[in-house]
Amino acid sequence: MGSAATDTAATDSAAEHPEEFEVTVGPMAHGGHCVARHEGRVIFVRHAVPGERVRVRVQDPQASAKFWRGDVIAVLEPSEHRRRHVWKLADALRAYQADRLPVGGAEYGHMTDQHQRWTKAQVFRDTLQRVGGISVHEVASTGALSEGELHVADPDDYARHRGRRDAAADSTTGMHWRTRVSFAVNGAGALCMTPHRSHELIELRGMPLAVQAINSSALFRQDFTGAQTVDVIAAGAQAPLALVVRPAAADRGDSAHSDLTERLVAMAQEDERLGTVLLAPPAAAPRSRSPRGPRTGRRGRARAQGRKRSTEGQSAPQQPPTLLAGPRSVAEPLPAGQGGGARHGGGVLALRPESFWQIHRSAPEALVQTVESLAPLQGGESVADLYAGAGLFTAWAADRVGAGGRVLSVEAAGASAASAAEYFHGDDRVILRQSPVEHMLAELPGHDVVLLDPPRAGAGARVIAGIDEAAPRRIVYVSCDPASFARDAAELLRRGWQFRDLRILDLYPNTHHMESVAVFER
Ligand SMILES: C[S@@+](CC[C@H](N)C(=O)[O-])C[C@H]1O[C@@H](n2cnc3c(N)ncnc32)[C@H](O)[C@@H]1O
């Protein structure tokens, strides 16, 4: 097995298992793995805490590969920041003991909450430097960091500040925060998730990172045979739940789809905690299911983990989902004090379930409060809200700029744009455009503030150039990906912009993901 066979540090156990190595792991990198070296070769190690000595099992240790990937299967010298993993199915140590793979989507669950946040700050700092060539010291020198350091804030603190009791529950273990989860479905019709970089389906009895309305629902005992994916939505973190069910590929035939449809309708009638059920158009083609084959592409990985994305990206835009039960929209409360005009139903947005919405129960509140505190708006200003989704920041901006102000809200995806159109109907302050941002750059000049919240790929050089050329007074950049943010921020700095503020929010506890809010001015 190439260089694995020449490992001088190999233990007796490793001799029996040439794909296993003892290593001391280095710092955490962007992507959720620590970097370790074995005989000069880099191994990306998941489920470690930086500084630990661990035994790693490498998947597919080919001699010709530039680097290997592996999971911790035993901890030889544990970090003081290690804890028993909060979710048994996602715990690599217990998974490998049971001769199975850990489920993906909770790859930081073995670290204390405090250490997860400290680690995220390090990863953000390193990524800013590596991808954007931006040093945190430079950012601090402009006064953009509170106390001169990068801190990662707990989003529940914002809700607690407002006296919301539910936010205090489980906040010390980072559990029960997801209001949206995308599940795969196995041949037996059960809800499943996949291990990292694998198509293997692991059946679930609950999903402890999800709010209790989802985690303790009856959905884990239901039969979804004939479905490929089931997206579950707990609007406002509460039941009734909404489902967006995507049938398996069309070539399975009409009878399979009508069986599924009948079961879904019956499910909605029998379960009072189930509200809306939508049947999405069938998947285009069967998915190949190699047992350990890597997911190819960003979208596949994001789908498995249900991160910051909308379900609508999977639908052909001309084929909206079919409503099988319940109301067409779910009630998503806007952050306290935002969008509360009587005309707007008291600050509750009627959201199409397949729209984008932030997945942490406290994210809308935490994000809007952070933007408000770092970049307050004045009455009469004009704001462009780019990648606006269903209008979370549009509602805030419209309230703040008031009757004399204007908000241009740009969103490409149909369901999110339709949700916004319904909510802002008749509101003279808001101009809605369903369009790719790239097609709207000519409309940006004249805006005082440009706020952008792009998907994980970032905005890209063309959009950054368009924003720069529009010459707003201020740019507010909300990002869920440090690498694409670093690249876009470097482009802004190159064009003469400066960091005025930078905050990080832990919107995805027990995972390696994080959210940042940055303010730039010239
Ligand atoms: C991270 S979400 C942010 C949504 C919103 N700001 C919020 O917080 O609810 C990004 C949004 O950008 C939309 N989007 C992705 N690419 C786009 C593009 N090229 N032009 C316009 N919108 C796009 C997605 O559909 C999604 O709604």
* ipTM given for this complex: 1.00
Domain-embedded: residue 341:
no
411, 438, 450, best to mutate for ligand 1 pocket (most atoms within 8 Å of CB): 411
Q: In Å, how far are 226, 303, 462 from 283, measured between CA atoms? A: 11, 13, 32
pLDDT at residue 4 in the model: 36
Domain-embedded: residue 339:
no
User: Does ligand 1 have an atom closer than 6 angstroms to the CB of 485?
Assistant: no
Please state which of the ranges 66-75, 109-118, 134-143, 410-419 shows the lowest mean pLDDT. Answer: 134-143
Domain-embedded: residue 167:
no
Say if residue 156 is in the same domain as residue 184.
Answer: no
Mean pLDDT of 221-238: 97
pLDDT at residue 7 in the model: 37
Please state which of the ranges 17-31, 96-110, 234-248, 336-350 shows the lowest mean pLDDT. Answer: 336-350
192 belongs to the catalytic site: no
- Number of other residues whose CB lies within 10 A of the CB of residue 458: 22
Domain-embedded: residue 174:
no
Domain-embedded: residue 335:
no
Domain termination site, one of 66, 88, 106: 106
Greater model confidence, 283 or 347: 347
Q: In Å, how far are 192, 213, 221, 383, 450 from 210, measured between CA atoms? A: 14, 8, 16, 34, 33
pLDDT band at 8 (very low <50, low <70, confident <90, very high): very low
Atom 6 of ligand 1, nearest CA residue: 388
Q: What is the CA radius of gyration of the chain?
A: 23
Residues with Cβ < 8 Å from 229, sequence gap 6 or more? 182, 183, 184, 185, 245, 246, 303, 314
Atom 1 of ligand 1, nearest CA residue: 455
Q: In a 10 Å sphere around its CB, with 0-12 CB exposed, 13-18 middle and 19+ buried, how is residue 175 labelled?
A: buried
Say if residue 93 is in the same domain as residue 149.
Answer: no
Say if residue 370 is in the same domain as residue 517.
Answer: yes
Relative to beta strand 191-193, strand 180-185 is antiparallel
Say if residue 411 is in the same domain as residue 481.
Answer: yes
Residues with Cβ < 8 Å from 271, sequence gap 6 or more? 218
Say if residue 67 is in the same domain as residue 16.
Answer: yes
User: Does ligand 1 have an atom closer than 6 angstroms to the CB of 455?
Assistant: yes
Asked if pLDDT for residue 6 goes beyond 90, the answer is: no
Greater model confidence, 392 or 252: 392
User: Does ligand 1 have an atom closer than 6 angstroms to the CB of 396?
Assistant: no
pLDDT at residue 284 in the model: 73
State how far the Cα of 453 lies from the Cα of 367, in Å rounded to an integer. 11
Binding-site residues, in ranges, read 358, 387, 411, 453
Residues with Cβ < 8 Å from 326, sequence gap 6 or more? 240, 242, 268, 274, 275, 276, 277
CATH number at residue 443: 3.40.50.150
pLDDT at residue 162 in the model: 62
Greater model confidence, 201 or 60: 201
Say how many Å lie between the CA of residue 356 and the centre of ligand 1: 8
Asked if pLDDT for residue 333 goes beyond 60, the answer is: yes
Say if residue 143 is in the same domain as residue 237.
Answer: no
Domain termination site, one of 106, 121, 150: 106
Domain termination site, one of 327, 345, 373: 327
- Full residue range of the structural domain in which residue 63 is found: 2-106
Say how many Å lie between the CA of residue 521 and the centre of ligand 1: 23
Closest ligand 1 atom to Cα of 387: 12
Q: In a 10 Å sphere around its CB, with 0-12 CB exposed, 13-18 middle and 19+ buried, how is residue 160 labelled?
A: middle
User: Does ligand 1 have an atom closer than 6 angstroms to the CB of 437?
Assistant: yes
Closest ligand 1 atom to Cα of 480: 1
Please state which of the ranges 332-336, 367-371, 425-429, 480-484 shows the lowest mean pLDDT. Answer: 332-336
List pLDDT tens digits, range 85-124. 999 999 999 999 999 999 999 999 999 999 999 999 999 9
315, 387, 444, best to mutate for ligand 1 pocket (most atoms within 8 Å of CB): 387
**C-alpha distance across the termini of the chain, in Å:** 56
pLDDT at residue 486 in the model: 98
Say if residue 380 is in the same domain as residue 513.
Answer: yes
Relative to beta strand 430-434, strand 406-411 is parallel
State how far the Cα of 63 lies from the Cα of 72, in Å rounded to an integer. 20
pLDDT at residue 118 in the model: 95
Closest ligand 1 atom to Cα of 390: 9
Residues with Cβ < 8 Å from 99, sequence gap 6 or more? none
User: Does ligand 1 have an atom closer than 6 angstroms to the CB of 412?
Assistant: yes
Please state which of the ranges 60-64, 324-328, 375-379 shows the lowest mean pLDDT. Answer: 60-64
- Number of other residues whose CB lies within 10 A of the CB of residue 273: 15
Are 173 and 86 a contacting pair, CB within 8 Å?
yes
Residues with Cβ < 8 Å from 162, sequence gap 6 or more? 336, 365
Residues with Cβ < 8 Å from 305, sequence gap 6 or more? 104, 105, 511
Three-class SS state of 233: strand
Say how many Å lie between the CA of residue 413 and the centre of ligand 1: 8
List pLDDT tens digits, range 285-323. 655 544 443 333 333 444 433 344 444 444 445 588 999
Asked if pLDDT for residue 342 goes beyond 60, the answer is: no
- Number of other residues whose CB lies within 10 A of the CB of residue 242: 26
Binding-site residues for S-adenosyl-L-methionine, in ranges, read 358, 387, 411, 453
State how far the Cα of 486 lies from the Cα of 490, in Å rounded to an integer. 6
Asked if pLDDT for residue 500 goes beyond 80, the answer is: yes
Say how many Å lie between the CA of residue 411 and the centre of ligand 1: 6
Say if residue 212 is in the same domain as residue 306.
Answer: yes
Say if residue 200 is in the same domain as residue 289.
Answer: yes
User: Does ligand 1 have an atom closer than 6 angstroms to the CB of 356?
Assistant: yes
User: Does ligand 1 have an atom closer than 6 angstroms to the CB of 388?
Assistant: yes
Mean pLDDT of 264-277: 97
CATH number at residue 71: 2.40.50.140
Say if residue 280 is in the same domain as residue 386.
Answer: no
Say if residue 193 is in the same domain as residue 299.
Answer: yes
User: And the tokens for 50?
Assistant: 């930086």
Say how many Å lie between the CA of residue 329 and the centre of ligand 1: 19
Domain-embedded: residue 282:
yes
User: Does ligand 1 have an atom closer than 6 angstroms to the CB of 267?
Assistant: no
User: Does ligand 1 have an atom closer than 6 angstroms to the CB of 21?
Assistant: no
Helix or strand holding residue 367 (H, E): helix 363-374
Say how many Å lie between the CA of residue 110 and the centre of ligand 1: 32
Greater model confidence, 71 or 337: 71
Closest ligand 1 atom to Cα of 410: 21
State how far the Cα of 326 lies from the Cα of 310, in Å rounded to an integer. 20
For 151, phi then psi, to 5°, come to -115, 150
Say how many Å lie between the CA of residue 135 and the centre of ligand 1: 28
Closest ligand 1 atom to Cα of 385: 6
Closest ligand 1 atom to Cα of 357: 9
Say if residue 402 is in the same domain as residue 253.
Answer: no
With vertex at residue 427, the alpha carbon angle to CA 424 and CA 432, rounded to the nearest 5 degrees, is 55
Asked if pLDDT for residue 362 goes beyond 50, the answer is: yes
Atom 25 of ligand 1, nearest CA residue: 413
For 250, phi then psi, to 5°, come to -60, -25
User: And the tokens for 355?
Assistant: 């729209």
Q: For the whole model, what pTM was predicted?
A: 0.90
Asked if pLDDT for residue 469 goes beyond 90, the answer is: yes
Say how many Å lie between the CA of residue 416 and the centre of ligand 1: 9
CATH number at residue 270: 2.40.50
State how far the Cα of 23 lies from the Cα of 21, in Å rounded to an integer. 6
Counted domains in the chain:
3
Atom 20 of ligand 1, nearest CA residue: 436
List pLDDT tens digits, range 258-270. 899 999 999 999 9
pLDDT band at 379 (very low <50, low <70, confident <90, very high): very high
Say how many Å lie between the CA of residue 418 and the centre of ligand 1: 13
180, 308, 354, 356, best to mutate for ligand 1 pocket (most atoms within 8 Å of CB): 356
* 294 DSSP 8-state letter: P
User: Does ligand 1 have an atom closer than 6 angstroms to the CB of 363?
Assistant: no
Are 230 and 191 a contacting pair, CB within 8 Å?
yes
Residues with Cβ < 8 Å from 388, sequence gap 6 or more? 394, 409, 410, 411, 416, 420, 453
User: Does ligand 1 have an atom closer than 6 angstroms to the CB of 436?
Assistant: yes
State how far the Cα of 389 lies from the Cα of 420, in Å rounded to an integer. 8
Q: Which of 449, 511, 519 is nearest to 481 (CA)?
A: 511
Catalytic residue among 420, 480, 492, 505: 480
